[in-house]
Amino acid sequence: MKFDVEPSGRDGAVIHANGRLNLVSAPALKNLVTGIVHDEGRHNLVVDLAETDFMDSTGLGALISGLKTARAAGGDLRIACAGKQVMMVLQLTSMDRILQPHETIEECYE
């Protein structure tokens, strides 16, 4: 899995997650979010899942961890462009109530 970070505005960033968000890559996303929030002071985050082929429960756990980290710093973490399998995981776990999927990155900032 590959993560690309794109700063957005004064306190935001978009994380483009490319590949499988699973047991192997989830710790890296968790650490990445912690670094962006605590070291760079960017606490309004969007995770772009357009190129995320697959997400398992540990990947979902990393998103929840990131959400908690961002909110604790006064910001938020939103998700955009989730594919069918990721949407299915969110619905299966009812986590679409907490991590509401947005159709576009722009919509996350509205």
Partner 1 sequence: MNAGRLHVHELHACADPECLGKVHDLLALIWETSPDVSALDRAMFETAVIEIAANIVRHGSEEGSTFCNLILEVYPDRLDARFKDDGQIAHVDLDAAAMPDDFAESGRGLAMAKAAVDVLTYRRHNNDNYWTLSRTRTAT
Mind spelling out the 3-state secondary structure of 54-79?
EECHHHHHHHHHHHHHHHHCCCEEEE
- CA 107/CA 34 separation, integer angstroms: 23
In sequence order, what are the beta bridge partners of 15?
5, 47
Q: Find how far residue 15's CA is from the centre of its chain.
A: 7
- Which residue among 28, 50, 64, 73 contacts partner 1 (CB under 8 A)? 64
Q: For partner 1, which is the closer residue by CB, 12 or 59? A: 59
Per-residue contact track with partner 1, 15 to 54, x per CB under 8 A?
-----x-xxx-----------------------------x
Which residues sit at the interface with partner 1, rule CB under 8 A?
20, 22-24, 54, 56-58, 60-62, 64-65, 67-68, 84-85, 88-89, 92-95, 97-98
